[in-house]
Structure formats: C-alpha cells, structure tokens
Amino acid sequence: MRSPLFVSSVLAVGLVLAASHAHAADGVTVYNQNCAMCHAPGLANSPKFGDKAAWAPRIATGKDALLKSALNGKGAMPARGGNPKLSDDDVAAAVEYMVNAAK
C-alpha cells in the first residue's frame, strides 16, 4: 500500500501539470496579457488583430513559420512577445487565436 504522502505528491504533480496545460491552451489570455499592446493598435507595423489583409500573407507562410517568428522574434517584435516566461504552448495558443481572428 502506498503512503498517503506519496499519493498526495502524485496528485499535486498531476494538478500542476493539468493547470499549466489549461493555461497554455488559453490563447485569449496570453494575447491580452502579452500581444495586444502592439497588435491591437498595430504598433511598429505589427498586423492589427483581426485585420485579414495584414494577416493574409503571414498566414500563407504557414503555422510553423508564424510560430517560429513568435517564439524567436521578428523585426521589432521581441521573442515570445517580450515575455520569456511564456511556454511554447502559450505562444502557440496566442498565435492560433490571432490567426483564427484574421481568417
């Protein structure tokens, strides 16, 4: 029989992983907290949120290319939207959210 401490530890790790995965899937929150300051007004020539014409050539490059730019930075856009604490999944969720809004 496993000790209560072991079971509690396993459950705690599971909850942390589930919470981090749920957070990563929230592209709206990641966008609002990290991307909107530039993409809402179109600062530094960033494509405005929902602007189909501005996003079309970027979307045409494919999701992998968009994600690579968001992760590594491009032009005036810093890597990970300037937030090095964002996971790859967080950035991917925000990119997906922005792309879906521009289709």
The DSSP annotation for 63-84 comes to HHHHHHHHHH-BTTBPGGGG-T
What predicted TM-score, i.e. pTM, was given to this entire model?
A: 0.76
Residue 49's pLDDT is 98
Q: Which residue has the tokens 């809004």?
A: 101
Low-confidence ranges of the chain (pLDDT < 50): 6-7, 10-22
Check if the beta carbon of residue 44 is closer than 8 Å to that of residue 38: yes
Q: Which residue has the tokens 């990290």?
A: 34
Rounded mean pLDDT of the chain? 86
d(Cα 52, Cα 42) in Å, to the nearest integer?
13
